[in-house]
Amino acid sequence: MNDSEFHALADAIYEHIEARIDDSGEDIECETVGGVMNLTFENGVKFVINRQEPLHQIWLATRENGHHFALQGDKWIDNRQGVELLSWLSLQAKRQGGVELAL
């Protein structure tokens, strides 16, 4: 994958996450600036999602852990635990943010 393809895929996943948050009706503030998406939950918990262009990865930082996701097929998979980005983000939103978020 080249840098242009990576940016298009990263943009698509960011747009998907933001759309699902908007559709959820949950009180989650979502702000994206310069390739960094900040999610702030009603209980004050914050997640940061950012793209790492040199590595062609998307990183997710929560108050409990951090993960580095690389594209494998059509899914973003963590390179250490093998978890998928959207399902992991949903799980952490419930565990840490206290909200149901179907991604």
Q: Domain with 59 in it: what CATH number?
A: 3.30.920.10
Separation CA 92–CA 101 (nearest Å): 9
C-alpha atoms less than 13 angstroms from C-alpha of 21 in its C-beta half-sphere? 24
Per-residue pLDDT at 44: 95
Q: Could you tell me if residue 102 is inside a domain?
A: no
Per-residue pLDDT at 43: 96
Over residues 25-43, the pLDDT tens digits come to 899 999 999 999 999 999 9
Q: Could you tell me if residue 52 is inside a domain?
A: yes
Tokens 């933001």, located at residue: 18
Helices (H), 1-103: 3-24, 85-92
Tokens 């999610």, located at residue: 39
Q: Could you tell me if residue 30 is inside a domain?
A: yes
Over residues 48-100, the pLDDT tens digits come to 999 999 999 999 999 988 999 999 999 999 999 999 999 999 999 999 999 99
Q: Could you tell me if residue 103 is inside a domain?
A: no
Per-residue pLDDT at 29: 95
The structural domain count of the chain equals 1
Section 3-12 average pLDDT: 95
Per-residue pLDDT at 47: 97
Question: Which residue range(s) make up the domain with 48?
Answer: 3-97
> Residue 68: beta bridge partners?
59
Q: Could you tell me if residue 40 is inside a domain?
A: yes
Per-residue pLDDT at 89: 96
> Cα Rg for the chain, rounded, in angstroms?
13
